[in-house]
A and B are shown apart, each in its own frame.
Chain A
């Protein structure tokens, strides 16, 4: 039932009184309205803008969010209103749908945003009224085409495990993927050009020899041309067979247009080989040579413009058909008229209606060769009508074709532009993503700092260091930390990872860098106390901007962490590369490359002069350092040979 007229239902029911006197059977019992709810005003708070409507308005469409009990999920008890965190502007049209029964699409709205809103509120877009439906569909189609382009480009990305066949196919389809493919592309293009030029030059008269008159080059240098033709056909055959081999679906490949062109290009040669000296079919043989010109269509693989043209013609098939049909009609009409008009005049060239076709076509397309001209007055009158109407008939469908071509061409332009922009976009996105990974590593480091400061009880420093890390972030980091504990491996930054790989490969011997006692990871004592199996891994992985050629030893202890600090003077620069939020980092007192504790390699506040207790925090978390370690935990600027302070932190 049309819900818009729901308000008139009581009227219709009341008017049913009119049937009662004539009814023979007793009437059924009326349904009771058990929910004696008064119609009440509902307040819908959409991002601050309050909409009010009657409850019954919303109940008209019970299969949407607002009309069903689903809106209870959004009910705010304190303010007694329904709160939606959505776009209030888009909500207007949605609420109007409930009020009027018609859904309109606001033209200034982005199509995907609008779609999302509709999905959120459970309204299917097909309900959009006729006034706005076409626009909606057009915009949606455009958007989908755009997204389709993007998806197709993604397929360009190399998949990890491609066998030889797939690699070859990819190389054929996208020449820019590898050098070999590019070379192949240009070579085939060159040979197509050679073949076409050969075909053309073959027919040029090459100058006469002594005893014979002008003959075309093809007959003069038969052998040379034959060799060239053979070479080209060889190349084309090899290319076709390779494509056939590499195609993922051979049947589909064989049916595709390009492969048909390929076949048509090389077939005449082979047919010619087969029936060389058969006089009967030499006529057909000559005809076959015509098909060699189809080789020029092979260029469409090399030229995007050609492909666009072909695509346009295919997509305008109906318009072209109409053009053809109307032209044919006009030609027949005018040819008939001209024939009968010129029948009377003597020596008229209009010998038959089909003969007049030629005149009509030439006139309608405004060519006007002049080989056939009307001589009678009637003929001239009709001839002029013919040329005028020709212009009209041709001019009408052409703009449609042109606009189609323009649309497709611009789409391609857009695709190219998007492809170019995509690289920059992806690079920026990658930086942002790596920023989040680094954020975790950074927070680990900061967590350590925090712990340390807590231990030493320097209140003001602790406040300085408390990064305003949001709850969400800290929870996310906790999650990543739990994953680390599960797998007993740690996240490290790419640089450190590569260095570690280098070290394990190089296997250098240890230098005299001091190794400090360890400290357990204080960041979030998740998963309780250390398990017996999992060695505690120190968490501080501090980097510097300079990938320093390490003199330090190999990874003797599995969980040793190498902390490198750069030259003290340059630490400010290096700190800034640590993705630290600069506000907080500057507060850390950067004074010389003083290594006071094992954890923090880089400049730590001088207040953190070590004391034995400082290193060992609350006993339940930090086991005491092994006795064998070198005693002085504080190292003042142990400048090793390269001015680099390298601290080794080993785990227990």
Chain B
């Protein structure tokens, strides 16, 4: 016959063991890394991504018409193209690089696209909305020469401190030369961008202080016939 004393003691021991083990067990199960074990939910991260997909709606047509120098029709055309490529309404840097690289199949346009992206992304929030896009285009296509030169200066001035240093110019120059790719004639040499930067600085840096300010830049460009003529090159793009 069973001894109830033993039985009681046994049951008590079991219960105490269970009570001790339970919290450990629960903590193991509830451990988030256990939950996100790769083999059970491989795509856990993707679901969070979806929710944060940005959707952006531009301002009304009238406001954009007022703020830019485009006509209604042109804005419509621009928006359709923009929305076709980026249905969510904003361009992030990756998409921008992709799109831009398609125009330069022989070289690597991603560095230059990065600088371009920063030039368009005026509020520096990591994405280019349609307003940013159309404001930039308005300057580039319909702006005065002064505004265009301003924009170019802004593009070259990577850290936006108002001065173009040789390093910044070298980065930009290398990015431009990267777009040419490898198969060029004559063969691209290592020091070609540097030499180009030297020539640029010789022309632009009037007071030889090693940086180019906006005034030096604009002055110099306005005195250069080639540059002035080329500023009007893309006026009938739309």
Q: Chain A interface (Cβ within 8 Å of chain B)?
A: 63, 65, 68-70, 72-75, 77, 85, 116, 119-120, 122, 124-125, 141, 144-145, 148, 311, 314-315, 317, 433-434, 436-437, 476, 479-480, 482-484, 486-487, 489-494, 496-497, 500-501, 504, 526-529, 531, 533, 537, 541, 555, 558-559, 561
Contact = CB atoms under 8 A, between A and B. Distances in A.
Contact of B187 (A63, A493, A500): A500
Interface stretch (B150-158, B177-185, B215-223): B177-185
B226 A504 contact: no
Contacts of B125: none
B185 A437 contact: no
A434 B73 CA distance: 36
16 contacts: A85-B80, A141-B43, A148-B43, A482-B233, A483-B104, A483-B179, A483-B180, A487-B177, A489-B180, A490-B184, A500-B186, A526-B230, A527-B233, A528-B229, A541-B185, A558-B186
B22 interface: no
Given A73-B76, A119-B88, A436-B105, A315 B39 contact: yes
Given A434-B105, A491-B183, A497-B182, 19 more contacts: A68-B57, A72-B61, A73-B83, A116-B87, A119-B53, A120-B83, A122-B89, A145-B43, A314-B37, A314-B40, A480-B103, A483-B179, A483-B180, A491-B181, A497-B187, A500-B185, A527-B233, A529-B226, A559-B186
A483 B39 contact: no
Contact of A74 (B60, B80, B185): B80
A125 B47 CA distance: 12
Given A487-B180, A528-B226, A122 B55 contact: yes
B106 interface: yes
Nearest to A485: B230
B180 A491 contact: yes
Q: Which of B58, B75, B84, B184 has the most chain A CB within a 10 Å cutoff?
A: B184
B46 interface: yes
B186 A489 contact: yes
Contacts of A504: 187
Contacts of A125: 50
A498 to B, nearest CB: 8
A157 to B, nearest CB: 15
B225 interface: yes
Given A119-B55, A489-B188, A526 B233 contact: yes
Interface of B: 37, 39-40, 42-43, 46, 50, 53, 55, 57-58, 60-61, 73, 75-76, 79-80, 83-84, 87-89, 103-106, 176-177, 179-188, 192, 196, 199, 225-226, 229-230, 233
Contacts of B225: 528
Closest 6 CB pairs of A and B: A314-B39, A497-B183, A119-B87, A120-B87, A73-B79, A489-B184
Contacts of A494: 183
B106 A491 contact: yes
A528 B224 CA distance: 12
A69 B230 contact: no
Contacts of A68: 57
A526 B233 CA distance: 8
Nearest to A432: B105
B57 A437 contact: no
Contacts of B61: 69, 72-73
Given A74-B76, A119-B87, A120-B83, A479 B199 contact: no
B192 to A, nearest CB: 8
Contacts of B40: 314-315, 317
Question: Which of B39, B58, B84 is packed against the most chain A CB atoms within 10 Å?
Answer: B39
A434 B37 CA distance: 44
Given A119-B87, A483-B180, A491-B106, A73 B80 contact: yes
A546 B34 CA distance: 63
Nearest to A529: B226
A122 B57 CA distance: 9
A539 B185 CA distance: 10
A124 B76 CA distance: 24
Contacts of B50: 125
B185 to A, nearest CB: 4
Contacts of B73: 77
Contacts of B103: 476, 479-480
A534 to B, nearest CB: 9
Given A476-B103, A483-B179, A527 B80 contact: no
Given A476-B103, A486-B176, A496-B185, A144 B55 contact: no
Nearest to A318: B40
Nearest to A559: B186
B57 to A, nearest CB: 5
A72 B60 CA distance: 8
Residue of A433, A482, A489, A529 with most chain B CB atoms under a 10 A cut-off: A489
A617 to B, nearest CB: 20
Contacts of A496: 183, 185
Nearest to B106: A437
A641 B68 CA distance: 65
A73 B180 contact: no
Contacts of B183: 491-494, 496-497
A69 B60 contact: yes
Contacts of A433: 105
A48 B199 CA distance: 56
A437 B176 contact: no
Contacts of B192: 487, 489
Nearest to A312: B39
Contacts of B46: 144
